[in-house]
Chains A and B, each alone.
Chain A
């Protein structure tokens, strides 16, 4: 179990990690006007595992996440929720989204932002208060409940964004480049914090990023996408030992190997696309 890394190309082996898929996309296609954004993308999100989508801008990774989140409609293809019985809709949504920075409601206090999903679902006040407290504690923000987003740093705002999603206790957490606009040092802190939260909750996570490093540090599996049209190029198993930290992952030789392989793949696909 000591940094045994497999960088095998992921031919479409279903449930590679031996788990049930939390959600599956099959042949998802999306066009914006005449441009083909997603070309028949199939993806299994393994239950209880952390999957990252990496790719150049324009590869449709955010569009895929938005389709799964229900924010965008696919032109064709299917979305299959793996474990239908665990999600009684309304009361306990099986999905929650962590957005990019600037998505907190500026007119709501931290507490009310985190309570947002629960309030919509009509959960009673007592449960909301208790759940919000617990979630804020999880992201180390106890004591900022009464503050407003504009009074917080970018990193703290993103932790509130994570708490807002976690408060719903969803089965699946969709994260759309949540750390893209925080500074490098804060980002590393947030990585450690997210890793710690993931260890505690074992949510099924789909994490969209353009940072290879970030994808490797956080994930069990990295799915690399290519652009024009958006498609899945290859899947990488990240068998770095857990529990991880930014530091513990980065010092492993396997980290550098993975980074190299993913980078090579992205570079060659970009060159191919350019030559095509």
Chain B
């Protein structure tokens, strides 16, 4: 323990000293080490799972090797691909609609006092309601198909986006507003040059949160509607006790989540590099 702490301290100190190139090399080596440790931990996890699951009923838990085999079958017969596309289609449509409506609405909300007065109680009420309670209503309205899924996914992703956009637009640094005023910006110019760019990091954060909610909405929608897509795969395979096949879509959703969130983080770094500190 002490040895590690010592080592880190030494690296920290010498990093600042230009006369110690040998320790600089050591600082660079931390990243590969970190990844080595990480990957080892993941490997240990799966090995332990493999060993543990081999001793119990395959109904309850299957070893990773069985999941891998099931994945191979499901890819080969095209089912995984079809259902993933089906899920993504609903997800992209629902999330896209939410994005298109919530961001402008958040801006209008921040811009006009009257809108704020009107919208506050509604947002508070709906935001405090577990949205899953509305799912049967959507089914009543839109049936069991694509439209119902879009509505569910859309409403799951709507509020984080709306609230973040609003928050961004009302928390513009007052100094920037002063600059705009001192340079005689019109109201419209202030919005274009100051308020909108200030919102970008907030909207990016909203997108990140909303994507998580959209994935949840996607699975819920597929459970409660016609049991298609990845959620349908989970449900149908669980119902028929095909535990290995049930795990495959779960891992796909997991991978989707990680992929989507890291790509929005990357996108945010690209378009709003100033907000990275």
Residues of A near any B CB (own CB < 8 A): 69-71, 90, 93, 95-97, 99-100, 102-103, 105-108, 116-117, 119-121, 148-150, 168
A90, A96, A107, A116, most chain B CB atoms within 10 A:
A107
State in angstroms the CA–CA spacing of A70 and B177 once bound together. Answer: 13
Give every chain B residue within 8 A of A100 (Cβ-Cβ): 175
State in angstroms the CA–CA spacing of A120 and B185 once bound together. Answer: 6
Flag whether B116 is at the interface (Cβ < 8 A). Answer: no
Flag whether B274 is at the interface (Cβ < 8 A). Answer: yes
State in angstroms the CA–CA spacing of A212 and B123 once bound together. Answer: 53
A129 to chain B, nearest CB (A): 18
- B179:A103 contact, CB within 8 angstroms: yes
13 A-B pairs (CB sep. < 8 Å): A93-B183, A95-B182, A100-B175, A102-B173, A103-B176, A105-B193, A105-B197, A107-B198, A107-B200, A108-B193, A116-B183, A120-B189, A149-B274
- B274:A70 contact, CB within 8 angstroms: no
Size of chain B's interface in residues, with CB distance under 8 A? 22
Total A-B residue contacts, Cβ distance less than 8 Å: 60
- B273:A96 contact, CB within 8 angstroms: no
Query: Given the interface contacts A105-B197, A107-B200, does A97 sit within 8 Å of B274 by beta carbon?
Result: no
Flag whether B12 is at the interface (Cβ < 8 A). Answer: no
Give every chain B residue within 8 A of A149 (Cβ-Cβ): 274
- B175:A150 contact, CB within 8 angstroms: no
Against A, the Cβ 8 Å flags (1 = close, 0 = not) of B154-184 are 0000000000000000000101101101111
- A116:B193 contact, CB within 8 angstroms: yes
A178 to chain B, nearest CB (A): 13
State in angstroms the CA–CA spacing of A7 and B183 once bound together. Answer: 36
B271 to chain A, nearest CB (A): 9
- A69:B175 contact, CB within 8 angstroms: no
Give every chain B residue within 8 A of A108 (Cβ-Cβ): 193, 197
State in angstroms the CA–CA spacing of A107 and B176 once bound together. Answer: 11
- A150:B273 contact, CB within 8 angstroms: yes
Give every chain B residue within 8 A of A105 (Cβ-Cβ): 176, 179, 193-194, 197
Nearest B residue to A104 by beta-carbon distance? Answer: B179
Give every chain A residue within 8 A of B273 (Cβ-Cβ): 148, 150
B43 to chain A, nearest CB (A): 39
Give every chain A residue within 8 A of B194 (Cβ-Cβ): 105
Flag whether B16 is at the interface (Cβ < 8 A). Answer: no
State in angstroms the CA–CA spacing of A149 and B175 once bound together. Answer: 15
